[in-house]
Structure 1
Amino acid sequence: MSVLDLARADIRALAPYSSARMEARGGSVALNANESPWPPPGDAGATLHRYPDPQPAALVQRLAQIYGVRAERVLVGRGSDEAIDLLVRAFCRAGVDAVAISPPTFGMYAVCAKVQGAAVLEIPLRADFTLDADALLARLTPAVKIVFVCSPNNPTGALVPLATIERLAEALRGRALLIVDEAYIEFADAPSAATLLDRYEHLGVLRTLSKAWALAGARIGSLLAAPEVIALLRRIMPPYPLPTPCVDAALTVLQDGGAALVRERIATVRGERTRLAAALPSLPGVRAVLPSQANFLAVRFTDAAAVYADLLRAGIVVRDIRRYPGLADALRISIGTPEQNDALLAALAARREAA
């Protein structure tokens, strides 16, 4: 059985849009894309009047090198959100198929499914917010075409062990795609699920440059998957997903010097995460700090609403995650610079004095 047998038949048969940039390359006079023949004012590189490559070769090759996969396994798009949407549209028929998620988790899995008209099967995390693989596999139905696993999980921060991911991959062979979202994996002390790609053609891994690589504004994410899956998604992907300035910014950051700086910053984030996790429990109103392998901490408070408001008055914005199941008393706090983290701790300590 091919992994494409899980995809929608109409998508497999779809003739993709063929853009001018895909149809012809080379030549010194480009008159095939209805572009302006003149660059805009201020365009020093004289490239912005031309459509960008749909999958820029230099960026794809560099990401493949960083992620340890072959280039044909890489699809780049506008953040990993775009890959989530493409996967659901390609593999889930409206009103027929479903995705499986383990809440509390990243909300875009369910949003993309609902926009597509696919059902959402929820298999909650355990009480300690670890993935319950037994419950997940026991509750899966034939309608489920994609299982999303977020590791480290957002918003709780727990890592899913690679052995658990491999167990799921074995069990889902021929049944459903397993998509592991590793938006925060750089902050974890663990190998990527991409190390399993050669053994499981129905496995996909989501990566992003928005977090550790500090390129949230450039909106560049990747799906690492079987070449057949990458080719299928390109059929339904918009023809020019990545703006040229975003690609240029990514290539600059992804150079060896930029990569070395990113490693230093990741080490700082890990150290600050440890420091905050140790300091927060002694502060007023803090009930618990959830273990995290990401660049944030989910923190339980006796009065999360009051803490949120007090921090906001102090000029500090954190994430209110009380709407998530099991987290009605929690806020998510991103790890900032040491100075920003000092300001957070000081603001929380000041609540004791105010009381």
Structure 2
Amino acid sequence: MENKYISLVRDNIKNLKPYSSARHEFSGHADIFLDANENPNDHHIYNRYPDPLQTRLKRKISAVKGVKEESIFLGNGSDEAIDILFRIFCEPGKDSVISIEPSYGMYRVAADINNVKIKNVSLTPDFELDVDAILAVEEKSDKILWLCSPNNPSGNTLNPQMILELLDKFPGMIVVDEAYIDFSNEVSMKSFVPERQNLIILQTFSKAWGLAGLRIGMAFAQQWIIEIMNAVKPPYNINSYSQDFVLNQLRKIDDVRKEISKIKQERGRVIERLEELDIVEKIYPSEANFLLIKCKDARNVFKSLQEKGVIVRDRSNVPLCEGCLRVTIGTERENEVFLKEMKILDKQ
């Protein structure tokens, strides 16, 4: 199958000779390792460098996610994958990208760091894609289209048929950030990876899997993309402790599913209680573990909650989110405290 998208890769990246570490050059069993200048004394295995390609962990992720091992990249959070994709496809000071608005702010930060122009295309008032508007601003210099589904901060899942239409019509790479997909009733678009050379899916262990502190993000894409990402990343980007911990967590998938189910149940309960309050003007449909809530005098509500030790996110300054707060679904106890304080504010 002809790959027209390889031409999007920067020339210096195509010609890159990646760093070859000691652990890249040897795989298999050995009793004595004198190749990596490590401290030879046993420090709970942490005196040894980690597997640079996270082989055991990817094997388990492959089984759980239904994605081939060679189509999996692991990064230090999804943010590392985002930055690496900028460095692979975007020439600083020359190329550009497109992002929907509002969406995850790290796309712009990564663009600014890499000196890449970013063009924002507004979602509709219902936070849906405007395919025609995206294609209308597309230029030859646009190398990546960034989409987030379920979207942050709106919480809705983007129409998959519209994404497929963009995959056919947009000439660059399309990244679909599915950080919150485990909370959605919609299925992941990762099943389209084998047939779409310009599709990259991002997922994470930070949300549904409860491992935000370990910083492990995933990218699913065709093998040629993953190979380039592995060439660009630092050799030991995922430490041994994180690899082992995530591997163990993947064996507890039933427990994780129960937690996801509980969070979704709480999401429904919180919505029902908030709908009773006059102070709440609108609750946007959510397929994530948070709600976007339009409130009367949102900034005062935000400050009042903060004074009571309840921290939510003020999104009033974000396009299409005027007067809105983003509220994460917490434990039943945490949600009850939040709802109690909202009821007090509603009576004032």
User: Do the two structures share a fold, i.e. TM-score over 0.5?
Assistant: yes
Counterparts of 1:235 and 1:198, CA distance in 2:
21
Counterpart of 1:240 in structure 2 is 236
Aligned: 1:186 with 2:188? no
Paired amino acid for 2:42:
P
Superposition deviation, residue 3 in structure 1: 2.4
Coordinate RMSD, CA, aligned: 1.2
SS at match of 2:64: helix
Counterparts of 2:82 and 2:295, CA distance in 1:
32
Aligned: 1:250 with 2:246? yes
2:99 is matched with which residue: 77, 98, 101? 101
Paired amino acid for 2:308:
A
Asked whether the 8 Å contact 2:128–2:159 carries over to 1, the reply is: no
SS at match of 1:158: coil
Give the gaps of 5 or more residues in structure 2.
Answer: none
1:168 is matched with which residue: 166, 169, 182? 166
Percent identity of the aligned residues?
A: 37
Asked whether the 8 Å contact 2:129–2:159 carries over to 1, the reply is: no
Superposition deviation, residue 17 in structure 1: 0.9
Superposition deviation, residue 204 in structure 1: 0.6
Paired amino acid for 1:19:
S
2:34 is matched with which residue: 6, 31, 36? 31
Counterpart of 2:259 in structure 1 is 265
Superposition deviation, residue 193 in structure 1: 0.7
Counterpart of 2:148 in structure 1 is 150
Counterpart of 1:7 in structure 2 is 9
Counterpart of 1:43 in structure 2 is none
Asked whether the 8 Å contact 1:147–1:179 carries over to 2, the reply is: yes
Matches within 5 A, 1:168-317: 168-172=166-170, 175-255=171-251, 258-317=252-311
SS at match of 2:320: coil
Superposition deviation, residue 284 in structure 1: 4.2
SS at match of 1:179: strand
Asked whether the 8 Å contact 1:60–1:74 carries over to 2, the reply is: yes
Paired residues, number:
345
SS at match of 1:205: strand
SS at match of 1:102: strand
Superposition deviation, residue 32 in structure 1: 1.3
Give the gaps of 5 or more residues in structure 1.
Answer: 41-45
Counterpart of 2:48 in structure 1 is 50
Counterpart of 1:77 in structure 2 is 75
Counterparts of 1:67 and 1:86, CA distance in 2:
22
Superposition deviation, residue 253 in structure 1: 0.7
Counterparts of 1:286 and 1:339, CA distance in 2:
21
Asked whether the 8 Å contact 1:283–1:349 carries over to 2, the reply is: yes
Asked whether the 8 Å contact 1:165–1:193 carries over to 2, the reply is: no
Counterparts of 2:290 and 2:306, CA distance in 1:
18
Counterparts of 2:50 and 2:4, CA distance in 1:
32
Counterparts of 2:327 and 2:248, CA distance in 1:
29
Deviations along 1:247-266, one digit per CA (max 9) or x if unpaired, are: 111011100xx100111111
Structure 1, 279-288 or 91-100: larger mean CA deviation:
279-288
SS at match of 1:198: helix
Asked whether the 8 Å contact 1:85–1:112 carries over to 2, the reply is: yes
SS at match of 2:340: helix
Counterpart of 1:136 in structure 2 is 134
